[in-house]
Structure 1
């Protein structure tokens, strides 16, 4: 593998990959301002229109780990460029759509672009000097949260002052810009030891079926009924298929995801913590905008428009961008485990602040800033922990699986918070809306989940690097770099766990 690029060129690499991650994450919140209007715009029912959002989640969840494996096999830069194609085509299809079917197809194609985020994180390990590795990983990893946080006000402004189709034409322009920047600024790093391995097609199909069953049940359970035959059948199918998939992955020679590596305590506990961090992040993104938009006549709503509520939440998204490089420096000084614990504790503090401050827009903005600062720290630490414990040949696939765990956490968080708010309601004007106690309960759940994430993160074992050729083990009190037998840690890998 080539040595990491000089610092001057590394700046362009970091900026490009952070931009790509932010743009990919924007696709998730792109249609949020249109939710109420989609049935009218697409001449369909509300339940059919909901698939415009659900399909992006499903396709993204399936494609992220597959893209990671393909990146390890054929080159991460090449697969990032490949991800730009469905992102561009899907955006154009959506912009030209006047009915629900092509819109769903286009949104599914956009979801394929989510594979750029873990590929970008893994590519940093190959291209960035050691002294900049931790901060760059933190920034690119946090781009998922940054894009989600900034997407709502941007999309709301465009939808309010221009045609909704402009949103998708803008997404198409972003896809072209990403492809151009990646082509010219990202070096073509030779593929690692995964080159020449067989792609696990059967494993990809099994994972896709299992994830679709699981995420459909989680995301649509509140609509279909948690005790309905459809929901329970999908959950049962998910269990059966994913167990069979796991047995296949353990037996096949070149698995899609090496479950033996994933089962290492350092990787396993980081992935479990990622589920709780994803839950903690998304809970606030669901609760706070609703509090801002509910009519002030409720006594606890703040009566803000969609655009205004997005602008109140925007500083929280920007804070992730500012905090991420600081998280990288904290990782260099104390190790990613310390950064992860610190991040989830800060998220919990943000929820704690939101309870007494939920009566004002300024208070919710402050709470969002604090909580998102914690997200910036935590999101940057998780890939660093993963990459310190997996071989070079599995870097992108392992990051893809970690991104999947975060997405699973956001899906579970959406379902749980949705149940809380739907069960704790008050009647107003003939309609049932979530009550103040329902919102407080949801915020308490987010705080509790964040504290659980901190406990799981505290249990992540510290690992010292294997001494090779008289080298020294990882620094930082044992929070060192783990390498697979026969593997040399990646350039700059020691910086991940310093």
Structure 2
């Protein structure tokens, strides 16, 4: 196997598993802000709506996703060039600044500006995947990527409980002061512990980052995300919806044309059009559709009054506590999914994830009248969620060169955001057709038929993703931490160098 100076790691391969865990701890905890900036906010949305006297409180979440979709591919490419650790530090600073703006915001527009600044931290996840690939020995990479998923699973438990407790006791601003303190404590620890990525571009190439291409891609993908999220409110045939669709498609076409002509493209479209990355992103979209749709429908299902014959009448806090088994199993399945990827192949991890998500949605669609049935679905969801991100991230690492890891993972983030938004929109549209007229309740209720149909659709989409993953040729071999992709790229460059 030829040597690769870019892949050589400054960390010795003789470290014990415990030392690697201590090394990864600050990275995992710091990158958790990508999940916490949403899970912390869910419980205080009513408080925010009252404080700013607005019915459009959903923009508190939407603006983060829109910013992330624009930022992930562009800043992911920047991270590949300037160093992943440096980009994570920049993103942590932006998150702290956004948290401060939100904590002090005198009006809703200023508050949304702070949320948009916070949203740039979503680049942390793809940069973290790239940093893990660059600085850890190849044999450790698949499991380390799974460890990142462990933190995401735990944030689904810690975030709502912490946000709810802080908001109820001190008000919504305490949530953002907590977020500011969280990143302020962890950033110096991360900065001292991990080395910088050794995969760096030559200085003259750093000036050639295709910013215009990144903005075209981000704006086009962001437009699609906005269309999916707001189409139902605007009307699917309204002028606003059709304008958003047309503008997004024009931006994406412009991105493709620019990348085909650019001497230093943001994304090598041969990678995006190739089967390895293409089918990985499609499977990621399908899994994210099921995750987003289930996260939207399940809390409403368990909070439905028992008088309707299928609900459980849980409170908001009860619904959050109900998700604890799901989060714990998801946290445990992250490293286990990494081990499966290392021993059998990341495709098998993704297949296990999509099988779990299919089982989750199918169980909820058919069985939702007893607590044990919901617990069974939660366990399926924990296993599927825990394996999903580690499977997809390992497939991306195996599909792209080392100096494109962060931008490749950024595209994975775009697929995940679009998938989750589409899942929420589709399931929400289906449920809206089955509203139950109950004047005694202060919130909208949906009929059992609506839940069965909506979750059945989510199950079908997850199963379609499972079929895609099963048919994929990519990822059938044990994960190498990206070494084989590097060697293949070197061989290709060598062959081109010998061509007269």
TM over 0.5: yes
Could you tell me which residue of structure 1 aligns to residue 33 of structure 2? 23
**2:58 paired with 1:50:** yes
**2:305 paired with 1:295:** yes
* Partner SS state of residue 428, structure 1: coil
1:185 is aligned, of 188, 193, 204, to 193
**2:356 paired with 1:346:** yes
**Counterpart Cα distance in 1 of 2:487 and 2:392:** 19
Change (3 A) 1:195 1:452: farther
Could you tell me which residue of structure 1 aligns to residue 490 of structure 2? 487
Could you tell me which residue of structure 2 aligns to residue 435 of structure 1? 447
Could you tell me which residue of structure 2 aligns to residue 496 of structure 1? none
Q: CA deviation at 1:205?
A: 2.0
Q: CA deviation at 1:451?
A: 0.6
Cα root mean square deviation, aligned: 2.4
**2:338 paired with 1:328:** yes
1:61 is aligned, of 65, 69, 77, to 69
Question: Larger deviation: 392-401 or 160-169?
Answer: 160-169
Unaligned runs of 5+ in 1: 465-473, 490-498
Q: CA deviation at 1:454?
A: 0.5
Q: Structure 1 length as normaliser, TM-score? A: 0.90
* Partner SS state of residue 131, structure 1: coil
Aligned residues: 477
**2:110 paired with 1:102:** yes
Could you tell me which residue of structure 2 aligns to residue 93 of structure 1? 101
- C-alpha offsets along residues 455-474 of structure 1, whole Å, 9 cap, x if unaligned? 1112222479xxxxxxxxx6
**Counterpart Cα distance in 2 of 1:199 and 1:140:** 28
**Counterpart Cα distance in 2 of 1:149 and 1:419:** 28
Change (3 A) 1:398 1:74: same
Question: Larger deviation: 353-362 or 128-137?
Answer: 353-362
**2:428 paired with 1:422:** no
**Counterpart Cα distance in 2 of 1:143 and 1:323:** 11
2:9 is aligned, of 3, 9, 13, to 3
Could you tell me which residue of structure 1 aligns to residue 326 of structure 2? 316
Could you tell me which residue of structure 1 aligns to residue 162 of structure 2? 154
Change (3 A) 1:349 1:381: same
Question: Larger deviation: 293-302 or 395-404?
Answer: 293-302
Question: Larger deviation: 479-488 or 58-67?
Answer: 479-488
What is the correspondence of 1:190-201 to structure 2 with a 5 Å cutoff? 190-193=198-201, 196-197=204-205, 198-201=208-211
**Counterpart Cα distance in 2 of 1:55 and 1:109:** 9
User: 1:5 touches 1:128 (CA, 8 Å); kept in 2?
Assistant: yes
**2:169 paired with 1:166:** no
Q: Structure 2 length as normaliser, TM-score? A: 0.89
What is the correspondence of 1:341-380 to structure 2 with a 5 Å cutoff? 341-380=351-390
2:228 is aligned, of 205, 215, 218, to 218
Q: CA deviation at 1:232?
A: 1.5
Change (3 A) 1:144 1:223: farther
Could you tell me which residue of structure 2 aligns to residue 413 of structure 1? 423
**2:148 paired with 1:136:** no
Q: CA deviation at 1:416?
A: 0.7
1:455 is aligned, of 441, 446, 467, to 467
2:81 is aligned, of 60, 70, 73, to 73
1:232 is aligned, of 238, 242, 249, to 242
**2:399 paired with 1:389:** yes
**Counterpart Cα distance in 1 of 2:230 and 2:237:** 12
Change (3 A) 1:93 1:418: same
Q: CA deviation at 1:350?
A: 2.1
**2:294 paired with 1:284:** yes
Change (3 A) 1:268 1:446: same
**Counterpart Cα distance in 2 of 1:281 and 1:203:** 30
User: 1:320 touches 1:375 (CA, 8 Å); kept in 2?
Assistant: yes
**Counterpart Cα distance in 2 of 1:412 and 1:433:** 21
Question: Larger deviation: 207-216 or 114-123?
Answer: 207-216
**Counterpart Cα distance in 1 of 2:491 and 2:378:** 41
